[in-house]
Amino acid sequence: MSKRAFCLWSGGKDSHLALQKALDEGYNVELLLTFFDARTRLSLSHGLPARLLHDQAELLGIYLQEAYVTREEYGPRLGDIMLSLVPQGIEHAVFGDIYLEEHKTWNERVCAKSGITPLFPLWGKSIDSIVDAQRTLQSVIVSVDRSKIDRTWLGKEIDDRFREVLAKGGLDFCGEKGEYHTLVAGSPLMNGCLQLERWKERVYDSYVGLDALDWSVMRKTNTVGV
């Protein structure tokens, strides 16, 4: 059986952990697929610029493919891209879903139309085990639901203090319902790390996000300013 795969990629902790587990299980993840808002040119949900995600992907050593859509175009475009990957020998799609059944079902339905086999490496894992795995990542908070989490956490790394805030607010540690979003700036998979240097706040819907303006790519061999 072919183990060639692509990963639906946000650049955040859940997609990163799903990628890591898929690689550990022997899958050859050849492509990271990220969707961007056709109007803002920023990634859906996380609001990150393509250049930043390409720098992250370079540190992972995996090619990043961009797709620009409106919200309404997202599903059909994902299905079209899957259909285009099948003749290239890609047979699996990696998703970072943890416990939301409606998300998992939707992804399974899109995959079924193309013949791609969906993989959910984090599905069914305990929250405690996922939180433990997150401790190996350098995850920077890039957006928060301002009705639930204070905006002062923007640009800070997830740590035990942040988890205390989540616990006191009765919020999901993993942010599976969109309470917050992250960018993985460093991990065991990455050949270096990213350091955000300049950003501004961006308010959209119920969120306040981090609009990244400047950052550095610090490779294990040398440092390059962006």
As annotated, the residues of the chain forming the CATH 3.40.50.620 domain(s) are 4-119
Does the pLDDT at position 137 exceed 70? Answer: yes
Does the pLDDT at position 223 exceed 90? Answer: no
pLDDT (0 to 100) of residue 21 = 97
pLDDT (0 to 100) of residue 204 = 87
CA–CA dist 60, 186 (Å, integer):
10
Q: Give the pLDDT mean for 82-109.
A: 96
Supply 76's token pair.
Answer: 């059909």
Does the pLDDT at position 33 exceed 80? Answer: yes
Share of the chain above pLDDT 70, in %: 97
CATH number listed for the domain at residues 127-225: 3.90.1490.10
Multiple choice CATH, 4-119, 1.10.357.10, 3.20.80.10, 3.40.50.620, 1.10.510.10: 3.40.50.620
Tallying the residues shown for the chain, one arrives at: 226
CA–CA dist 139, 155 (Å, integer):
10
**Residue showing tokens 């799609």:** 93
pLDDT (0 to 100) of residue 221 = 73
CA–CA dist 117, 107 (Å, integer):
10
The strand pair at 117-119 and 138-145 is best described as: unpaired
**CA-based nearest residue to 223, from 197, 184, 190, 195:** 195
Phi, psi of 115 (to 5 degrees): 90, 0
pLDDT (0 to 100) of residue 222 = 54
When the pLDDT of each residue in the chain is averaged and rounded to a whole number, the result is 95
Q: Give the pLDDT mean for 109-128.
A: 95
Q: Give the pLDDT mean for 44-54.
A: 96
CA–CA dist 64, 66 (Å, integer):
7
Does the pLDDT at position 36 exceed 80? Answer: yes
pLDDT (0 to 100) of residue 205 = 86
Q: Give the pLDDT mean for 32-38.
A: 98
CA–CA dist 17, 185 (Å, integer):
13
Does the pLDDT at position 25 exceed 90? Answer: yes
As annotated, the residues of the chain forming the CATH 3.90.1490.10 domain(s) are 127-225
By CB neighbour count within 10 A (0-12 exposed, 13-18 middle, 19+ buried), where does 168 fall? exposed
Strand partners, 198: 214
Does the pLDDT at position 1 exceed 60? Answer: no
Strand partners, 216: 195, 225
pLDDT (0 to 100) of residue 45 = 86
Does the pLDDT at position 51 exceed 90? Answer: yes
Does the pLDDT at position 226 exceed 60? Answer: no
Does the pLDDT at position 192 exceed 60? Answer: yes
Please tell me the pTM assigned to this model.
0.93
